[in-house]
Amino acid sequence: MKENQFTMGNYIVKIFSIEYATHDVKRYKFFKPQDYSFVPGQATDVSINAPEWKDEKRPFTFTCLNSDPYLEFTIKTYPSHLGVTNELSKLEEGAELIIGDPWGAINYTKPGDFIAAGAGITPFIAIFRHLHKLGKIKGNRLFYSNKTA
């Protein structure tokens, strides 16, 4: 059986790693569909591959590099909302997500100062990882705020 399947314009992908980044933020890594590519800063619509959740799509930004052999999201959980992020937090390795094609979001064009807050940090994770890989961090600064350390 293949790790990923393609159905009706969406990719069904299997989570192979879930780890905590903080007490309420998790990193989800899943198998990358063949020929799937994105630009650092792009997002995709995501839903959980379960009958009651498959139509509940939410946008999430990739936090890995396009050159990585996997895809990754870094997602904050909001248990009080009883929505998609809460359900994602209950998933275990082997669970499946449905993702679409990558789209828009934030595109890096030149060095500068960038500001992000809370979950808005996620596009910059991939962008700054990419800049670091290229040796082009110099001239870029990221100002970030969060309600807790």
- pLDDT tens sequence for the chain (149 residues): 345 554 446 999 999 999 999 888 999 999 999 999 999 999 999 999 999 999 999 999 999 999 999 999 999 988 787 889 999 999 999 999 999 999 986 889 999 999 999 888 999 999 999 999 999 999 999 999 987 76
**Which of 83, 38, 84 lies closest to 61, judged by CA?**
38
Quote the strand ranges of the chain, DSSP E.
Answer: 5-7, 10-22, 25-31, 43-48, 58-61, 70-76, 96-99, 113-117, 141-145
Q: 3-state DSSP call for residue 92?
A: coil
